[in-house]
Chain A
Amino acid sequence: MTMNSKIGRKEFWQSYRRSCSLDASWNYERMQNLAFAYMMIPIIRAVCRTKEEIGRALKRHLEFFSTTPHICTLLVGIMGAMEEANQNDGEFEESSINAVKASLMGPMAGIGDSLIWGTLRVIAAGIAISFSMNGSVAGPVLFFAIINIPCFALRYFCLKQGLQVGTNFLLSMSKTSIMQRLTEGTSILGLMVIGSMVSSMIYFELTMQVGSGDFAQPLQDYFNEIMPGILPLAAFGAMYYLLDRKFKTTTLLAWVFALSVIGKYFGVL
C-alpha cells in the first residue's frame, strides 16, 4: 500500500478475507482459478477503469492457478501491484502479469507445501496426538492453534509484502539465502519429529512366545533387547522401500489390513 495507491485498507482486508477460500473451488481443469479471480476482484474493482480493462483483468486471473493456500496472498499482492502499474504506466507490458504469476506460483508451492503441509502440520499433529491418545481435549485445541496462529499471521505478512514491493520481493528473498536456509532448517526439524513419531506412534508387537516352560518369553522382548523400537522402525523402512518401488498407498493399506487379520488368526501378532 504505497502512498498514492488505489488499493487501500478496504481492498486489502477484502482480498485478505477472500484469499481464505483459495482451495474451496479446486478443480482438475484449472485448479484454483475461480478462487484466484474471486480474491483479485476487490483490487481489480479499485484499479481498473473501463469495462474492457475489467474484462481483460478478470480473464487473466481465471487462468490456471495452483499454489499453497496459506501463502497465496504474496501473489495476490504482487498481482495487485502489477495491475495498478498496468493502469498508471502506458508502457507497461500487460502480458507480463500472467508471466510473473506463472513463474512464481510453482516455486512458492514448492516452499509452501513442504513448510506448511509437510512440516508445520506434521509437528502440530505429532504434539497433539500424544495428548489425544489419552483422551485429552488439549489435543484438538493444540492442533488447531499450532497451525492457525502462524498461518494467519503469514497470510497477512505475505499480502502486505506483496503489495509493497511487488515483484522485487521474491528477487530480494532469493538474493539472500533465507529461503534455502529456511527449507533446510524445516526439513531437519520435520525429519526429527517424524523419527520420534516412528518410535512412539507405530504399535507393532509380536506376542508369539518362544522358549518353553518357565523360560517362555514373548518374541517381542528379544527384539527390544537389541534396540527398543526396532520393529516399528522396520515397519517404517519396509513401507518407505515399497513406496519407493512405486507401490500405491491404497495397495499398502489393503495389505496391512489383510496381513494383520491373517497374522492374528495364526497367533503370530
Chain B
Amino acid sequence: MDTALFQAVVLGLIAFFGYMHSFMGSTMHNRPIIIAPLVGLLFGDLQKGIMIGATLELIWMGAFPIGASNPPDMVSGAIIGTAFAIISNQDTPAAVALAVPIASLVLIFDNMLMTFFIPFLSSKADKYAEEGDFRGVEKMHLIAVLGVKGLLSAIVALGFYLGAPSVTSILSSIPEFVTEGLNVATGLLPAIGFAMLAKMIMNKKLLPFFLLGFLLTSYMKISVLGVALFGVVIAMLVAGADKKIEGGAVDDNEF
C-alpha cells in the first residue's frame, strides 16, 4: 500500500473516532483541540498538531450544537487541514484556510443525511415499535449512527487521498501577502466565536463581569485559569448573597 493511501486510511479512522464522540457520552473529543494533535501524533509532528488544534479551537469557539442548529463539521476540517499543513511543511494559517471551508462543505452533506437518511430509519423504527420489536428499534438507531459516521469518515479519507497532489502544490504557490493576511485573519477570527458566546449570556446586569475579566488580563496579565478562579469566588459571593437579601426582605415583611 503506498504512503498516501495508508495516510488516508489512518485519517479516516481518526475521523471515525472523532465522530463517535456523540456515541461515547458527547465527550467533545471531536473538537479540534483534541483531534488535530491526534493527526499530528500519527503524522510525526505532535507539536504542530497541538498548535493548529489550539488555533482552530479558538476560531470555532462559538460553534456548538444547540437546539436545531448544527455547527460546521469540525472533524473533517481539522483533520484535513492539519494533515496537509504537516505533509507540505506549512504553518497554522494554511491549516485554517483549508479547515474552515471544508468544515462548511461537509456540513452540507451531513445536513442531507440528517434530513433524509435518519428520518427514513426513524419511520421504519415506528413500524418495529408497533410490533413491540425491541431489536428492530435498536437496529435503526445503530444503523443511523454507524451509517452516518462511516460515510463522513470515508469522505475525510477520500478527500485527503484525491486532494493530496493538487492541494500540496497550491499551498506552496500562494503569494506571501496572502499567507500573511491569513495569519492576521487567524488572530482575528476568535473575536467572532467570543462574540457568539457572549451573546448567549450577556445582559446589562452582567456586563461588568465581562469587563472585569478583560481588565484583569489586560492590566495585570492574569492567565485565563487565574481569571476563572477569581470568577468562581465572585460567582459564589454574588449568586450566594442573593438568598440572604431575599430572606431578609421576607423577614421584614413578616414582623
Residues of A within 8 A of B (CB): 20-31, 33-35, 37-38, 41, 44-45, 51-52, 54-55, 58-59, 62, 66, 69-70, 109, 113-114, 117-118, 121-123, 125-130, 132-133, 135-137, 139-140, 143-144, 147-148, 151-152, 155, 177, 181-182, 184-205, 227-229, 232-233, 235-236, 238-240, 242-244, 249-250, 252-253, 256-257, 260-265, 269
Instruction: Specify which of B62, B184, B217, B235 is in contact with A264 (CB 8 Å cutoff).
Output: B184
B: which residues have CB within 8 A of A? 20, 22-29, 31, 33-34, 37, 46-48, 50-51, 53-54, 57-58, 61-62, 64-68, 70, 97, 100, 104, 111, 114-115, 118-119, 121-122, 125-126, 128-132, 134, 137-138, 140-141, 144-145, 148-149, 177-178, 180-182, 184-192, 194-202, 206, 209-219, 222-225, 227-228, 230-232, 234-236, 238-240, 242-243, 246
What separation, in Å, do the CA atoms of A29 and B122 have in the docked complex? 9
**Residues of A close to B180: CB separation below 8 A:** 264
Q: How far is the CA of A242 from the CA of B125 in the complex (A)?
A: 43
A52 cross-chain contacts in B, Cβ below 8 A: 132
Q: Is the CB of A187 within 8 A of B206?
A: yes
Chain A contacts for B65, CB-based, 8 A:
23, 26, 117
Distance of A66 from chain B, by nearest CB (Å): 7
Q: Which residue of A lies closest to B213 (CB)?
A: A195
| A191–B22 touching, CB < 8 Å | no
CA distance A248 to B230 in the complex (A): 34
Q: Is the interface of A mostly helix, strand, loop or mixed?
A: helix
Sample (16) of A-B pairs whose CB atoms are under 8 Å apart: A22-B26, A27-B119, A58-B137, A109-B67, A113-B67, A121-B64, A140-B33, A144-B29, A151-B25, A188-B209, A204-B191, A235-B188, A243-B195, A260-B181, A264-B180, A264-B184
